[in-house]
């Protein structure tokens, strides 16, 4: 039980981005609720594995598991995550209590020499370990050589600056949070490079038995973002999503209407077409948002998405 006097503790990973995000939520909670809020920094297995593509070693769950153990043991009350890194289905006993207003959801083109993807010379080397970015880059520019790129944001930028790549693609939101927005040469419009489900949004996870905390955090939910990310995450869930599947899902909710764009690529076969589906309709609650996500997944299936999934 939380009392009115004890501090709230936020469990967070210790990358510069994760700490920025945790401090952002810390400040918000202090301001809204007048509570003392402390941070508990932790290293996760996902942070330790830097040499392999994440999809090959167990996926998104690697970044959240240790934080959930801290919640379970009562060492922390909240865990702050990039929503993009949160598995579609949380383990029993945990829930997503709030999603904050989304920042820029777009992917960013970063290069010391070239201003945009179009300006890259033939066969240029582009760094990304995101299968989603890889399949969409391949569809836009089949000539490019796409090379793996892992590590936290600073590491990735350093590898670019060392000349190992002509350009790299990163989430705009992460760069902006770290004061690195000036590294962005162009932002991909979401219809050209569809973002990942949840990209740019922060999620707050708690134990499901923390009813009072849940109720308080509900006041932080940004409704347009909340509805959009429920649709996006439903696409992934409906396709049995893990990050070994190159799946993109991006939704915008405005004036009661949700527009959802999705794409799925083949994780191995470069000649397989990128499948796309877009749906829209009136949405007033998360159930309706998720139904739209399921409808988009169904459209991808009708185009043959199942044949892409078995390899994931």
Ligand X SMILES: NCc1[nH]cc(CCC(=O)O)c1CC(=O)O
Q: Which residues are catalytic?
A: 85
Asked whether the beta carbons of 266 and 134 are under 8 A apart, the reply is no
Report in angstroms how near the CB of residue 200 gets to ligand X at its nearest: 5
Residues 146-175 contacting ligand X, CB under 6 A: 170-171, 173-174
Letters for 68-87 (x = contact with ligand X by CB under 6 A, - = none) are --------------x-xx--
- Smallest gap from residue 158 Cβ to ligand X (A): 14
CB contact set of 285 (below 8 Å; sequence gap of 6+): 227
Closer to ligand X by Cβ: residue 103 or 119: 103
CB 274 to ligand X: min, Å: 19
Q: Which residues are registered as beta bridge partners of 276?
A: 263
Residues 168-207 that bind ligand X (CB under 6 A): 170-171, 173-174, 199-200
The least distance separating ligand X from the CB of residue 171, rounded to whole angstroms, comes to 4
In the complex, minimum distance from the CB of residue 25 to ligand X, in angstroms, rounded to a whole number: 13
Tell which positions 258-277 bind ligand X, by CB under 6 A.
Answer: none
- At residue 99, φ and ψ (nearest 5 deg) are -125, 130
Using the minimum distance from each CB to ligand X, give the nearer residue, 199 or 236.
199
Cβ-based nearer residue to ligand X, 197 or 239: 197
**Rounded to an integer, what distance in angstroms lies between the CA atom of residue 82 and that of residue 68?**
14
Nearer to ligand X, 148 or 282 (CB): 148
Q: Which is nearer to ligand X, 210 or 262 (CB)?
A: 262
Q: Which residues bind ligand X (CB under 6 A)?
A: 82, 84-85, 170-171, 173-174, 199-200
């Amino acid at each position: 039980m939380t009392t009115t006097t004890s501090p709230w503790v936020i469990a967070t990973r210790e990358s510069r981005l994760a700490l920025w995000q945790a401090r952002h939520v810390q400040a918000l909670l202090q301001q809204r609720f007048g509570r003392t809020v402390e941070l508990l920094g932790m290293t996760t297995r996902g942070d330790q594995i830097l040499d392999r593509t994440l999809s090959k070693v167990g996926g998104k769950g690697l970044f959240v598991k240790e934080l959930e153990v801290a919640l379970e043991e009562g060492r922390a009350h909240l865990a702050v995550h990039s929503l993009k890194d949160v598995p579609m289905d949380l383990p029993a006993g945990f829930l997503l209590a709030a999603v904050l207003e989304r920042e820029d959801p777009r992917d960013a083109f970063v290069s010391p020499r070239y201003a945009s993807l179009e300006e890259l010379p033939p066969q240029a080397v582009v760094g990304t370990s995101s299968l989603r970015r890889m399949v969409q880059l391949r569809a836009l520019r089949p000539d490019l050589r796409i090379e793996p790129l892992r590590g936290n944001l600073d590491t990735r930028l350093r590898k670019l600056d060392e000349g190992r790549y002509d350009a790299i693609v990163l989430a705009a939101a992460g760069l902006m949070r770290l004061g690195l927005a000036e590294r962005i040469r162009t932002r991909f419009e979401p219809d050209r490079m569809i973002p990942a489900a949840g990209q740019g949004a922060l999620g707050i996870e708690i134990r499901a038995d923390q009813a009072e905390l849940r109720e308080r955090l509900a006041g932080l939910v940004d409704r347009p973002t909340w509805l959009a990310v429920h649709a996006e995450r439903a696409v992934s869930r409906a396709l049995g999503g893990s990050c070994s599947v190159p799946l993109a899902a991006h939704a915008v909710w405005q004036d009661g209407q949700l527009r959802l764009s999705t794409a799925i690529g083949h994780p191995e076969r470069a000649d397989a077409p990128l499948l796309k589906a877009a749906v829209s309709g009136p949405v007033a609650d998360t159930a309706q948002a998720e139904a739209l996500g399921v409808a988009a997944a169904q459209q991808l299936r009708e185009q043959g998405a199942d044949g892409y999934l078995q390899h994931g």
